[in-house]
Structure 1
Amino acid sequence: MIKNLNQMKKALKPGTRFQITAHCRPECVGQLREITVANTQGFYSGMAGEPDHPVSRSNGGRGSVLWWSKAPFWDFSDGICSLYNSDAERTEKYLILAFRVLEKEAA
């Protein structure tokens, strides 16, 4: 279970999947995403198994981007990673995105 920003950065590598549990745009809740690119600045994700989806095609085919931000803007609890646009108030009003990293399927 991810407990801090450093652990999350290590876990989110290309091919890792996550499910959005809350989002500032309600239409994104429930989406299953897959990391396409991860670097020192953030990560890109597309719709898992849907390469032609507009989200997957954005940013030159890398998908939607999320910058890491600093640790005070994140909350990690019960397996959910949540990013807020406030480092002081972690309420729905300030929520940008919350997601659960999914376990890799056995090959």
Structure 2
Amino acid sequence: MTEKDIEKQLVVSTRTAGGMAPKLVSPGFDGIPDRLILMPGGRIGFVEVKAPGKRLRPLQEKRKRQLEALGFSAFVLDGVEQIPEILTAIQGGGER
């Protein structure tokens, strides 16, 4: 499964759960996660999608830590089986 396939499934699963998953593009602020997950009830999370087994680049790790330090949930997704757990955590039903 490719990164693109995983990302498509994240978007579909988020919509099915009643949320939105816009693609993040941030000129001048590299390393920001791929998707902003917006769920009912004002729940927000950030998801960096990777191909299976791939790791974050150092700048991506830094951005993840920065977001978490601000109180946001930030996740790394490298398999479709992780999607339900991530969506549950963003909705307030689990840990990151």
Q: TM-score range by the shorter chain?
A: 0.3 to 0.5
Q: Which has the larger radius of gyration?
A: 1
- In terms of fraction of residues, the more helix-rich structure is 2
Higher strand proportion (structure 1 or 2): 1
- Normalising by structure 1, report the TM-score: 0.32
Normalised to the residue count of structure 2, the TM-score between the two structures is 0.34
